[in-house]
């Protein structure tokens, strides 16, 4: 047991726990209202939203998985950099419109918007269920980061004893999320991001000096891991895989319910536009994090006998913890492990809140309790957020880790199928509501089939067309199928005169920056200043 690292880790964890419970008093609102508990009253300004979205999107699993992919597979792991560059122009174009219509109409989830836009409870239900389905394994995988760092500090065991630290961590998370709602991860995100920036900056300065500089690091990496492999004749090989992974992931990222929740909590459209310009700072950080994979290779930690049992248990995911243990004193390793663990708690909290919002607004209220009060709605969301966390915890404890990873691979394939209804729907209503349902089904089936044909070991599907092989991200290929089916059946349903339903939104809803909502609390002007 590395007691020094463990003590530092526990102190950091205790600090953010206190912050989590204190957050209920921060920017106080009536937490018996769903928009206050689940969206923090839509009060967050530019800086808080920047920390919230950064903490939400750049998770502990990113801190572990991106360098692990670079460590194990080489240059293909760098697709995370262009994808987090492409995504922000997409955010700038699309999500101020979603914020405006949601703010004007009192929508809390993307499924609320779909319900209002297409007058289809069935389509809204599909969007909600897809969001919950894609989110659950994502929450479970946040636990992977905590598991790895707990193991790195020497905490071993089997059965309940081995899982006890994880259970305690998520019990604490569940408690302060229940009491404080979205305010808790927003406040903790400030601490989490500060810790991670300190850790990464220290790592990219100190570790290269220990290893003889960046030139020595790159010269010691096998050339096959520094560049994408040249495609063989008749194939686009790694080139198309890299490009489609980057573009498809960019289209996917902000469709996840936790991303939408972060956007919806902003105080006005300008906050989202500013963050589209400011969030690429995290891409710079991500580039530095990815380099840790090459540093781990150059340091030879995978060949050191003392780390062999850990690599056997955790695979490449142990590359960063091994690098930290090998390069820093125990107290700083504990600091870094605390940053990774807290980096898991922030997105896990937001994801559970987002899933609870979807269930409560788009399943519980319309189908199970149409006449429930606002307090009953908020209480149900709080309880569901607990159930979601327990489910994710059970998923990791009782199923082999490889199954969690395999199911998470489907998350992007599934959630991207909501793009036609949400993103295209924000700009026009040409696609027929029933055609969207059929397109969603076609995309889900085709995308899942592609991943299944790969035995759930990856999401890059080798598409064969006229003798040419184009390996590509199954999510993007599934989306193409979705769009084609939706477009064809839109024409068919229009010719048959099938009802399109009533659009309950107006064009002014998508461009208005007014701070009035349908019976909901308006954002305070105090939260609109750029300094906040």
The answer to whether residues 74 and 225 touch, using CB atoms and an 8 Å cutoff, is yes
The answer to whether residues 66 and 229 touch, using CB atoms and an 8 Å cutoff, is no
Residue 157, burial from CB neighbour count under 10 angstroms (0-12, 13-18, 19+): exposed
- Cα(first)–Cα(last) distance of the chain, in Å? 42
Instruction: Tell me which residue of 378, 300, 336 sits closest to 195, measured CA to CA.
Output: 336
The answer to whether residues 66 and 293 touch, using CB atoms and an 8 Å cutoff, is yes
CA–CA gap between residue 270 and residue 43 (Å, rounded): 13
Report if pTM > 0.85.
yes
The answer to whether residues 191 and 172 touch, using CB atoms and an 8 Å cutoff, is no
Domains, the chain, ordered by start: 3-24+37-412 (1.20.1730.10)
- Count CB neighbours of 283 within 10 A: 17
- Count CB neighbours of 449 within 10 A: 14
pLDDT per residue, tens digit, the chain (532 aa), is 888 999 999 999 899 999 989 888 887 788 889 999 999 989 899 999 999 998 888 877 778 888 988 998 899 989 989 998 999 999 999 999 999 999 999 999 999 999 999 999 999 999 999 999 998 888 877 877 788 888 888 876 656 666 777 788 888 888 889 999 999 999 999 998 899 999 999 999 999 999 999 999 999 998 889 999 889 888 898 999 999 999 999 999 999 999 999 999 999 999 999 999 999 988 888 899 999 999 999 999 999 999 998 888 888 889 999 999 999 999 999 999 999 888 888 898 999 999 999 999 999 999 999 999 999 999 999 999 999 888 878 777 776 665 555 666 788 999 999 999 999 999 999 999 999 999 999 999 999 999 999 988 888 999 998 889 999 999 999 999 999 999 999 999 999 999 999 999 999 999 865 444 433 433 333 333 333 3
Q: Distance of CA 198 to CAs 11, 73, 345, Å? A: 17, 27, 18
| Helix/strand/coil percent split, the chain, to 5 | 75, 5, 20
Residue 495, burial from CB neighbour count under 10 angstroms (0-12, 13-18, 19+): exposed
């Amino acid at each position: 047991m590395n007691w020094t690292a463990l003590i530092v880790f526990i102190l950091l964890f205790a600090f953010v726990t206190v912050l989590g419970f204190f957050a209920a008093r921060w920017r106080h609102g009536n937490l018996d209202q769903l928009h206050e508990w689940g969206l923090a009253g839509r009060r967050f300004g530019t800086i808080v939203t920047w920390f919230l979205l950064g903490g939400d999107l750049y998770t502990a699993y990113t801190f572990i998985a991106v360098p692990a992919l670079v460590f194990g597979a080489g240059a293909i792991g760098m697709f995370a950099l262009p994808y987090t560059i492409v995504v922000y122009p997409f955010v700038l174009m699309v999500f101020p419109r979603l914020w405006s219509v949601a703010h004007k109409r009192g929508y809390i989830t993307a499924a609320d918007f779909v319900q209002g836009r297409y007058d289809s409870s069935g389509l809204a239900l599909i969007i909600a269920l897809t969001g919950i389905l894609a989110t659950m394994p994502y929450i479970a995988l946040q636990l992977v980061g905590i598991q790895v760092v707990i193991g790195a500090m020497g905490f071993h065991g089997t059965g309940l004893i081995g899982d006890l630290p994880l259970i305690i961590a998520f019990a604490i998370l569940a408690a302060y999320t229940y009491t404080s709602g979205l305010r808790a991860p927003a406040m903790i995100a400030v601490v989490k991001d500060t810790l991670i920036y300190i850790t990464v900056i220290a790592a990219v300065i100190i570790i290269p000096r220990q290893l003889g500089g960046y030139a020595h690091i790159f010269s010691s990496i096998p050339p096959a891991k520094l560049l994408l492999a040249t495609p063989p004749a008749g194939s686009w090989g790694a080139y198309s895989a890299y490009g489609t992974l980057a573009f498809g992931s960019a289209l996917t990222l902000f469709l996840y319910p936790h991303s939408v929740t972060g956007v919806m909590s902003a105080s006005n459209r300008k906050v989202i536009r500013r963050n589209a310009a400011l969030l690429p700072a995290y891409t710079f950080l991500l580039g530095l994090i990815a380099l840790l994979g090459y540093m781990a290779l150059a340091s030879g930690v995978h060949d050191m006998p003392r780390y062999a049992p850990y690599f056997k248990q955790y695979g490449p995911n142990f590359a960063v913890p091994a690098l930290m243990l090998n390069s820093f004193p125990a107290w700083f390793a504990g600091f870094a492990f605390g940053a990774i663990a807290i980096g898991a708690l922030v997105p896990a909290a937001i994801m559970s809140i987002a899933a609870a919002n979807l269930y409560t607004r788009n399943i519980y209220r319309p189908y199970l309790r149409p006449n429930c009060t606002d307090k009953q709605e908020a209480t149900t969301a709080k309880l569901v957020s607990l159930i979601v966390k327990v489910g994710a915890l059970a998923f990791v404890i009782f199923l082999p880790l490889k199954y969690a990873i395999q199911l998470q691979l489907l998350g992007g394939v599934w959630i991207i199928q909501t793009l036609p209804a949400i993103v295209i729907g924000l700009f026009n209503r040409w696609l027929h509501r029933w055609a969207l349902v059929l397109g969603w089904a076609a995309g889900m089936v085709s995308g899942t089939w592609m991943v299944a044909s790969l035995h759930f070991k990856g999401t890059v599907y080798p598409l064969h067309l006229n003798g040419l092989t184009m390996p590509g991200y199954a999510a993007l290929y599934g989306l193409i199928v979705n769009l084609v089916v939706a477009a064809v059946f839109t024409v068919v349903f229009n010719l048959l005169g099938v009802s399109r339903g009533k659009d309950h939104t107006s064009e002014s809803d998508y461009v208005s920056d007014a701070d009035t909502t349908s019976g909901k609390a308006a954002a305070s002007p105090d939260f609109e200043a750029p300094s906040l």
